Amino acid sequence: MRGRPVSELAPGDLIAWETERFDWSPVCVPMRVVSVREVPEADRVPRDRASRRPPYYLEITDLRDGKVNDHYRVDGNTSFVVLGAHHPLCVDCGQVWPCKDELIDKQVERNRAQLDAQCAVCHKSGGYRMADVRVETPDGVAVQRFHTRKGTPCRTAYLRAVAKDPEALAAVRREDAVYAVPQKTPKPARRR
């Protein structure tokens, strides 16, 4: 989302205000703009006079508790994400959705899917010769993936894992036959 400059904010706008929690991690909370006023020339400091845009006083209301936080001094180059009137909020923490916890949960899911696609030995994903080993655990069925190409440590670990499963061993043999390198036939000798 692109932000809107502070000079274009209007009373009643709903903005995402970045603040810090008790553990110093940044969070975005919804705030309602009460007023936006340009800082008078007499109250400006030399740094403000050197900037192209003047600073502003921004009065906002925290939507979580209704507390008015008046007169934040904001640099004129600052921009804010303006939210729609019906933008959702997290019911657990009151942050603008998706909140930090939601984003962490999504990242954990992506990492889990990435780990599920990786070989249990070399930790590389992909490859055209992979096989799954399903193991019953108290939490359900766990799946480990292995590369099954000949001559790799991944295949050795896979063969150890399926040593008592004749169907899996037969499948590996069939796969080996499919990927077998054809032997070169000797060329006939030339006649002189």
Q: What is the pTM of this model?
A: 0.48
Higher pLDDT, 176 or 11: 11
Class of domain 4-88: mainly beta
- Give Cβ neighbours of residue 164 (< 8 Å, ≥ 6 apart): none
- In single-letter form, the type of residue at position 21 comes to R
* Residue ranges, CATH 2.30.30.30, the chain: 4-88
Distance CA 19, CA 99 (A): 13
Helical H segments across 41-191, by residue range: 46-50, 100-116, 153-161, 166-178
Average pLDDT over residues 134-145: 82
Asked whether the predicted pLDDT for residue 23 surpasses 60, the reply is no
Place 20 in a pLDDT band, splitting at 50, 70 and 90.
Answer: low
- Phi/psi for 111 (5° steps) reads -65, -40
**How high is the pLDDT of residue 9?**
93
- Give Cβ neighbours of residue 75 (< 8 Å, ≥ 6 apart): 6, 51, 53, 55
For a pLDDT cut of 90, what percent of the chain falls above it?
10
